């Protein structure tokens, strides 16, 4: 009797499962090595040769894109859950900010791999321009948040345009403030969340100018 050949559906499922296993191996290396994670180390962790890793992802950029999607999908799911929680608007804003900051605090090496280049490429590897790949990641977060804002807040006749401005602006604020905070830890996370929420809540507009200052 002849052996049964796998169907296209089975081969596709096997490929997805193998890809998932390789991404989990890459995650373990990134958690250990951060931005310095190399294709050599990831291949070794997965128990394969580097050419096989290239076969699945093409190059480090392809692997980065796959990891970025994996982590961005999880982060977006958490952010949407925080925004959808049954609470007052201010509480949901704070919960959303805290969700983002808690995520980068919990896995700082993953965050640095996604957002910061390594100091030098590993032997045998070309340099890797992380900025080329991290900008689309932030744009995706901004677009996703814009959709959520437009769905939930009545912003008048220019709702779609204003929601996109706010979505990208809030993501930019979270990213810049979170990056600074993660590096210096100048205050507890809860304090940073409250301060950023104050800014979003119009505290800047309501605050008076300092006496003798140039105004703002």
Q: DSSP H helical segments within 34-59, as ranges?
A: 39-46, 50-57
How high is the pLDDT of residue 3? 61
Report pTM: 0.81
Q: How confident is the model at residue 16 (pLDDT cuts 50, 70, 90)?
A: confident
pLDDT over threshold 90, residue 44: yes
Superfamily of domain 61-202: Tetracycline Repressor, domain 2 (1.10.357.10)
pLDDT tens, 139-194? Answer: 988 998 898 888 888 888 888 899 899 999 999 999 999 999 999 999 999 999 99
Q: For the chain, what are the domain ranges?
A: 61-202
Among residues 26, 33, 94, which one has the least CA distance to residue 62? 26
pLDDT tens, 92-134? Answer: 889 999 999 999 999 999 898 888 866 445 555 555 555 556 7
Please compute, for residue 4, the number of CA atoms within 13 A of its CA located in the half-sphere on the CB side. Answer: 5
Using DSSP's 3-state secondary structure scheme, residue 6 falls into coil
């Amino acid at each position: 009797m002849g052996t049964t050949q796998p169907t296209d559906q089975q081969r596709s499922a096997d490929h997805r499962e193998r890809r998932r296993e390789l991404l989990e191996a890459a995650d373990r290396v990134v958690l250990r090595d951060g931005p310095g994670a190399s294709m050599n180390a990831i291949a070794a962790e997965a128990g394969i040769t580097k050419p096989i890793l290239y076969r699945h992802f093409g190059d480090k950029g392809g692997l980065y894109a796959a990891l970025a999607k994996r982590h961005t999908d999880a982060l977006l799911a958490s952010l949407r859950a925080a925004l959808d929680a049954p609470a007052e608007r201010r509480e949901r804003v704070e919960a959303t900010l805290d969700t983002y900051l808690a995520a980068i605090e919990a896995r700082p090496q993953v965050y640095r791999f996604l957002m910061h280049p390594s100091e030098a490429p590993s032997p045998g590897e070309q340099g890797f321009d992380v900025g080329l790949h991290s900008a689309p990641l932030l744009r995706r977060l901004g677009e996703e948040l814009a959709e959520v804002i437009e769905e939930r807040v009545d912003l008048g006749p220019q709702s779609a345009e204003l929601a996109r401005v706010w979505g990208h602006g809030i993501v930019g604020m979270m990213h810049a403030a979170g990056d600074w905070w993660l590096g210096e830890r100048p205050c507890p996370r809860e304090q940073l969340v409250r301060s950023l929420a104050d800014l979003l809540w119009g505290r800047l507009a309501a605050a008076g100018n300092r006496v003798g200052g140039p105004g703002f």
